[in-house]
Structure 1
Amino acid sequence: MTPTVQSLDHLVLTVADLNVTLAFYTEVLGMRAERFTPADGSQRWALRFGSQKINLHQAGAEFLPKAARPTTGSADLCFLSDTPLADWQAHLDALKISPEEGPVRRSGAEGPILSLYLRDPDGTLIELSNRL
């Protein structure tokens, strides 16, 4: 029998500027910035939300092991939210952030979703979604 995985523990984003990234994800998306010390004793930053975590690597100073071709702005991330997209749009408007697209209907991992698209400071595509 083939072994299986059951969930995603964390993912890594390579970013151009840690401070700008931390500000965006905390102020715009409401995530929590967390400084942590892994077993190797280095100091690292992560973004926490729900039971998930995004670890951050500074471009050009990535921690090992790392992606084969770490690149800023190369990710496409979809985040589920219980907050209605109309509230997200008002929040983004107040921050003078213009969504690229949406709301539009899409297919999520567990069924239909309604999505709003924007980009983080590195150009990573961010999809904010409500389950339908």
Structure 2
Amino acid sequence: MKGSFVLKIKRVDHLILTVTDIARAIRFYHEVFDMPIINFKDEREPHCVRCGHQLLEFQTVKQPQQPAAANPTVNSAAFCIITGDKLSDVCNHLESYYVPIVAGPLKQIGSEGPMMSIYIHDCDQNLIEISSYQNK
């Protein structure tokens, strides 16, 4: 056993998605999910949205944020977001934006227990699981 130091990881702060068009990605997440657009003072164009207490940041293959993953690739992300709404209401909302549901509702297990999930693709074909915890 090495040393007595124990890391105290608290949460995920941000996730970087590689997309084909940053403005289109921001528009999708802002319009479909009502995620606020974040524009830092030192930037000309926004490149992220707020998702709860986390940020979704966007980059392109040609201009990855540095340091970058070894092979930034469009349409390779899959992640889950939690809603406080009924999934039936979420489905109706997605339908009004012409966003097809690719799977679900399905019973899943998340970090806090049982949940129901539906799955969609964003404008770059990243897989988004939209979930609602049961009994919460």
TM-score (norm 2): 0.88
| Number of the residue aligned with 2:68 | 66
SS in 2 for 1:36: coil
Q: 1:42 Cα shift?
A: 5.2
| Number of the residue aligned with 2:48 | 46
Q: Match for 1:3 among 7, 28, 34?
A: 7
Unaligned runs of 5+ in 2: none
Map 1:36-115 → 2, pairs under 5 A: 36-37=40-41, 43=44, 45-115=47-117
Map 1:28-43 → 2, pairs under 5 A: 28-37=32-41, 43=44
Separation (CA, whole Å) in 2 of partners of 1:95 and 1:56: 21
Count the aligned residue pairs. 129
SS in 2 for 1:122: coil
| Number of the residue aligned with 1:20 | 24
TM-score (norm 1): 0.91
SS in 2 for 1:25: helix
Moved more, 66-75 or 55-64: 55-64
Identity of matched residues, %: 33
Contact 1:36 1:46 in 2 (8 A): no
Letter paired with 2:40: F
What RMSD over aligned residues (CA atoms) do the two structures have, in Å? 1.4
Moved over 3 A (4+): 41-44
Letter paired with 1:56: F
